[in-house]
Amino acid sequence: MKRSVVVRIAFHIGVVFLLAFAGACKKDSGETLNDVVTVHIASDPSSGLHPVYSAAPNKTMYLDLMFQGLMTLDPASGKQVPQLADSSPDVSADGLSYTFRIHPKAMWPDSAAITAADVVFSYKIICSPLCGDPARRDLAQYIRDIQTYPDDPRRVTFHMKSYFFRNDQIGYFTYILDPRRYDPERVLEKFTVPGLLDEDSLSNDPALVQWSAAFAGQTYSHDVTGLQGGSGPYQMNEWVPEQKVVLARSEGYWAKGMSEAMHSQYPEKIVFQVVKDENDTELRLRRQEIDVALFLTSERFEKLKADSSLNLQYRFEQKNRDSFLSILLNLRPDGAEHKKIFTDRRVREALALAIPLSSLTEEHIGKGFTYAASPVSISNPDYNKSLKPYEYNPKRAHDLLEEAGWRDTDGDLWLDKMIDGERVKLSFTLFYPKNQKPIEAFVEGLSEALARVGVECVLKEEDQQVYRKSLEEQDFDAALFAFSAPPLPYDFTTLFSSSSWPEGMNYMGFRNEEADSLIAQSRETPNAQRRKVMVDRVQEILYSELPCLYLYYPTRKIVVSKRFTKGAELYDIFPHIYLNNLQGEPVEKE
């Protein structure tokens, strides 16, 4: 269960990507029902499954079966445990050097040993100025060098420049890749790790530019052959766009027979079947063609849970998610296509007060949500418990807008104001993800609520690729956005430091000197109590300044077939269950 680099950024757009395992349907001749597990998904991973650039949690359910890192997270405890490493690292007395020993059995699918050279190659990728992943490169800046040992090819030491609160996550940084597949011309071999971190001298290197473009291309994100060759228990077998993705058991898997669930290979194949209609999902559950469903909407989950006949076949559970749903606001608009509406914090606070969040979620999403006052998950020790969500107060919202100079001067019921010599209507476009019916109803209700205080919210549905491009280019007014992080110390740099704008994920363009200073200090403060004071203050600033509107912390609705007698344990970390460990009574096809 992986894979955060910093936070293993979860760019889930919206709330849900429906997921389920189907196993009770009939298979091809000679197969038992345990040979194939069919995973029901609501959308195709159309943006790709690149092992470095694919970061969304819904993609890690594929990638974690095909690729491995030195360490991974134990889904029950949230702590790091060895994966390709033989054990936890040896740490130097000063806490700046981490030595790993690769498991003596670890090998690639062709039986070649996985060595320290493979580890160095994989980390050179994220050190490269052309990697294209600012979050990974931000963490890589703390690496001073990576040492290998001629007398022990499975030993590797990471030397860090200085204390960083995530130094101990260095083994959980990225998947280990085979340089024979990804760099057959050995382009990265001529560069040292410190040299790659020197961006100024390498950003125009022709060989590196050419290799980086090829590495980031379609071959390693969409092509079946290009996605093969990982060290995990399963290999990419087939991908039919908008229909299915098939993973097959990796024969000769190096960890076959080991007791840990992460190494299990019970299903021969895991088929991710694309079925977009939720009514179809329900029908398949009723036919027992689905064994496990994740990300069901609250309404559908409660409906199925209330059915006594289904309770004989399934168990229904909910899990908290380490994520928050928000509305990002463009704080640095161009002033032309995107007006300077949200640059005044009074407008941002007015929007927060004008949204009847509890009634909207209960009516359109479901009950039982915890409403957000911070981007930090309530289950994370870094969460500031003193903050309380903004409460619905349309009168105060109206007063704040009037105080900020917004009035209806032309009688059209929409507020307006002179900005830079132009009369601007208080109107903005809100992007939200396609094919999410509960979310569609939710944002429609939100738009109606804002209209009651004179704010026009124009809704625009977008697919994931267009949506993400708009955010990266700051080509938006507002956008519904879900962000996830593992249960590790929270790093605000990714979303809220001015260093992450315009290159990075601070899509809002938020900038606050005090917050910047505290974010930087909190990353390099070893004293836990002092650090907690800093991160609490950062959350207070974000609560007051509202670079985004905090909505709620989603929960995971999970349905699991009772036919699985082993391996169906549920955990707190996504995807909450090991697909590769599902075990039930074998049933032969009739």
Q: Which of these three, 197, 222, 247, is where a domain ends?
A: 222
pLDDT at 356: 96
Is the residue at 3 inside a domain?
no
Q: Which residue has the tokens 């989950």?
A: 301
Is the residue at 155 inside a domain?
yes
CATH number at residue 537: 3.10.105.10
Is the residue at 401 inside a domain?
yes
The pair of structure tokens assigned to 116 is 């320290």
* Per-residue pLDDT tens listing for the chain (590 residues): 544 333 333 333 333 322 222 233 333 334 445 588 888 887 888 889 999 986 566 788 899 999 999 999 998 888 899 999 999 999 999 999 999 999 999 999 999 999 999 999 999 999 888 876 666 777 788 999 999 999 999 999 999 999 999 899 999 989 999 999 999 999 999 999 988 887 666 667 888 989 999 999 999 999 999 999 999 999 999 999 988 999 999 999 999 999 999 999 999 999 888 888 889 989 988 998 888 887 777 888 889 999 999 999 999 998 877 788 999 999 999 999 999 999 999 999 999 999 999 999 988 888 778 899 999 988 888 999 999 999 999 999 999 999 999 999 999 999 999 999 999 999 999 999 876 777 889 999 999 999 999 999 999 998 877 888 899 899 999 999 988 777 788 999 989 999 999 988 899 999 999 999 999 999 999 999 999 999 999 999 999 999 999 999 888 888 888 888 899 999 888 888 899 999 886 544 33
For residues 377 and 514, membership in a common domain is answered with: yes
The pair of structure tokens assigned to 372 is 């957000």
Is the residue at 9 inside a domain?
no
pLDDT at 25: 35
For residues 377 and 421, membership in a common domain is answered with: yes
For residues 371 and 408, membership in a common domain is answered with: yes
Pick from 246, 251, 220, 302: nearest CA to 49: 220
Write the pLDDT tens digit of every residue in 346-359.
999 999 999 999 99
pLDDT at 131: 75
Pick from 455, 453, 449, 497: nearest CA to 477: 455
The pair of structure tokens assigned to 35 is 């040979």
Is the residue at 40 inside a domain?
yes
- Report pTM: 0.82
Q: Distance of CA 421 to CAs 224, 333, 559, Å? A: 56, 16, 57
Q: Which of these three, 192, 222, 252, is where a domain ends?
A: 222
For residues 529 and 573, membership in a common domain is answered with: no
Cβ–Cβ < 8 Å for 33, 587 = yes
Is the residue at 1 inside a domain?
no
160 phi and psi angles, rounded to 5 deg = -95, 150
- Edge-first strand order for the sheet with 36-41 is 234-240, 244-249, 269-274, 36-41, 19-22, 292-294, 555-561, 314-320
pLDDT at 355: 97
Give the burial class of 242: count Cβ atoms within 10 A of its Cβ; 0-12 exposed, 13-18 middle, 19 or more buried.
exposed
Cβ–Cβ < 8 Å for 396, 451 = no
Write the DSSP symbol of residue 390: P
For residues 92 and 213, membership in a common domain is answered with: yes
Is the residue at 218 inside a domain?
yes
Is the residue at 2 inside a domain?
no
For residues 492 and 549, membership in a common domain is answered with: yes
Q: Which domain holds residue 278?
A: 15-66+232-321+554-590
For residues 352 and 302, membership in a common domain is answered with: no
CATH number at residue 316: 3.40.190.10
Pick from 478, 504, 17: nearest CA to 274: 17
pLDDT at 59: 86
For residues 208 and 340, membership in a common domain is answered with: no
pLDDT at 132: 63
For residues 411 and 558, membership in a common domain is answered with: no
Q: Which of these three, 202, 222, 242, is where a domain ends?
A: 222
For residues 506 and 495, membership in a common domain is answered with: yes
For residues 510 and 370, membership in a common domain is answered with: yes
**Domain count across the chain:** 3
For residues 382 and 281, membership in a common domain is answered with: no
Question: For residue 291, which amino acid is it?
Answer: D
